[in-house]
Amino acid sequence: MFKKGLKKFINYSFLALSISFLLSTLYIFFPKLLDSIDNQIRDYLFLIRGEIPNSDLVYIVDIDERSLKTLGQWPWSRDKMSKIVENLNSAAAIGMDIVFAEEDRTSPSFVAKELNLNTSLRNYDEEFAKTLENSAVILGYAFELSDGKYIGKDAPQIPAIFIEKGKKDDFAPKAYGTILNTPIIQNSAYSSGFFNVLPDPSGIIRSVPLLISYDDFLYPSLSLEIIRAINQSEKVLVNYDENGVKNIELGEFTIPTDRYGRIFVNYRGAQNSFKYISALDVYNGDFNEEEIDGKIILLGTSATGLFDLRATPFDSIFPGVEVHANVLDNILEGDFIQKPSWADGANIALIFFFAFIIVYLTTYTPLWVNPFIFATFTLLFLYGNYLILFDEGVILNIIFPLNSIFLAAFLTTILDYFENIRSERAIKAKFASKVSKSVMEDILKNSIDGKFKAQNKEITIFFSDIRGFTNISEKLTPNELIGLLNRYMDPMSNIITKYSGTIDKYIGDSIMAYWNAPIELKNHADLALEASIEQLRELKELNKIFEDEGLPRIEIGIGLNSGEAIVGEMGSVLRSDYTVIGDTINLGSRVESLCKYYDSRLNITNFTKSLLTKNYTFRFLDLVKVKGKDEPVEIWQVLEEKMVGENIENELRRHHEAIELYKSSNFKDALKIFKELEEKEDKTNQKIYKIYMQRCSEFIKNPPLNFNGVYEHSSK
């Protein structure tokens, strides 16, 4: 059994190892294979978390539908933009999520130029540029991220030094060109930052690049440049590790990124998680200037017609300017979501952990528990991932460990199913000739892996033996003898299994069987006795057939005993059998062998008699010590139903009176009754009275000392 258990452990360990290596290989070499599902699950975690408060340090001035309706279609004339910027001068910084890529065509000077008029008129671009010179404005621009024919090549000037530490390769997204503000506007502002956002393949903005490489130089995003500007940092340190970009340091801020220099956005919630102020209200001065004092202002649009709407985990329509607001708030609050360099190792460790723990749990627990194991670990993992994501700010892979849980539970259940089929076949092969179909089904229902651990158990043991088998065998040819035995054994075996008995073995002309193993039988003694009585009845019918065919009659003796025995699968590694051993079995064999001595066909011990719950007719035979046993045992004869009647009741009453006299050493009176019974023509036992008559006569001549009624048999 140990070897079987070890083999099973090795097989299931190999299964867990195979699942782990398969998923780890896919994770390492095909990491984007299930990215979309992984991201969608994480999006649901954001929805479950719901909205969280922001720092109240970032405000959005919105070019909304109301502003467009009043101030006109976009782009507005630069004099209007100047007024808006001037009205926001109390802000710490103003970030433009828009680009002024062309001259203002509504400017009077531009119109005069188009009409070839030589006159000096207002130039809105120059006025806007002067406004920018006196304001804390960070302009926005865009990089061209695909190689095209008509692409601007000018690079923006950033008043900062980018220092790359530990760089071994280029990881930041690469740009091929620029879409800048007009030179007069671009050069008048303090600085600028790109507002490119790169959606996932599914079209959802989950991360935003903080750096883009252009002509081998790094340039900051609008959000990063705003933070650098208000922090007055002249140096930006970009740290690398073996995986790529690790983090960005500027002043007091350390911003963790992915290997490509992207920040995972810890969204505060759905649209309008930040305070919006209509651009029209700012233009009219119809807002609380004190409210924006020292705050960061982002100027952008939520208007549908201006096409700056994105998809996020919270919304399918989300203003792009609010994406930048979330990034800024993440940096200011320091509640980042990141994928650290050790995350890959942790993900692979989780794959291995779940594969092994689920395989072992589903292997060594009942089959019906498997769905609960799968559901429990799935929910626990998702909850743990939720806590790690939002409490620790760490992104771990979800879909690969989940697949580890699923595959481990599914494949182990499938393997268990086939193992159970194999075990059922083994059990059926072991018990097919031993027990009834109903007993077999119960064994299959309650057995575990075909193993039957040895245990102490109360059983009723059955032995039967053909009387005078040697004489019978001498009268028949070998084929005739085998045929006769088979015709006898078949109905006898069927009766045993009919009464839920288990046939242990056939020993030549003998049958050994037992009750109450491998399944529990409350009335096992009754079942064994009823089977024995039915066998005697069946044998009478069988002998009539044998006589008609000229075959010898068969007479048998049956012995029953009940008591504790060791029950279980026993034998060698190469061959084992489910059997019973112990003194209870040995005594049962002795009781059967005494049938011939007492002229009885069915003997039971007092141990079996004490367990019977139904009414039977008994004759006390003897209190004996059998060979190999020190304790005396009562031997009782069970009489068949047809023998029961008034005459037999009187005979048994007188018999038991004589037995009591015998036990009390009153041998003379006992002898008198035994002689009386022996002289009866219709006596039911031809030998028992002669046995006691002989004993009484001997004890009368030679009275025994300290007589206790025990007779000791010296032979088997």
Architecture of domain 433-613: 2-Layer Sandwich (3.30)
| CA–CA dist 220, 489 (Å, integer) | 95
pLDDT of residue 154: 92
Q: Which of 298, 274, 278, 294 is CA-nearest to residue 286?
A: 278
Q: Which of 705, 681, 451, 455 is CA-nearest to residue 581?
A: 455
Tens of pLDDT, residue by residue over 129-185, are 999 999 999 999 999 998 877 788 899 999 999 999 999 888 999 999 999 999 999
Evaluate if pTM is beyond 0.75.
no
pLDDT for 442 beyond 60: no
**Contact between residue 105 and residue 112 where contact means Cβ atoms under 8 Å apart:** no
**Contact between residue 528 and residue 462 where contact means Cβ atoms under 8 Å apart:** yes
**Helix (H) and strand (E) counts in the chain:** 23, 26
Q: Please work out, in degrees rounded to the nearest 5, the angle formed at the alpha carbon of residue 46 by the alpha carbons of 246 and 58.
A: 70
Cβ-count burial 416-430 (b if 16+ within 10 Å, e if not): beebbeebeeebeeb
| Bridge partners, 296 (sequence order) | 58, 93
Tens of pLDDT, residue by residue over 536-594, are 999 999 999 999 999 999 999 999 999 999 988 776 555 556 789 999 999 999 999 99
Cβ-count burial 601-639 (b if 16+ within 10 Å, e if not): bbbbbbbbbebbeeebbebbbbbbebeeeeebbbbbbbb
In this prediction, residue 1 has a pLDDT band, given cuts at 50, 70 and 90, of very low
pLDDT of residue 233: 92
pLDDT of residue 646: 75
Domain boundaries, the chain: 2-33+342-427, 44-333, 433-613, 644-716
User: CA neighbours within 13 Å on the CB side: how many for 76?
Assistant: 22
pLDDT for 511 beyond 60: yes
**Contact between residue 411 and residue 437 where contact means Cβ atoms under 8 Å apart:** no
| CA–CA dist 552, 640 (Å, integer) | 23
Tens of pLDDT, residue by residue over 392-422, are 999 999 999 999 999 999 999 888 877 766 6
Q: Show the tokens assigned to 93.
A: 């910084």
DSSP three-state, residue 253: strand
**What's the mean pLDDT in 236-260?**
94
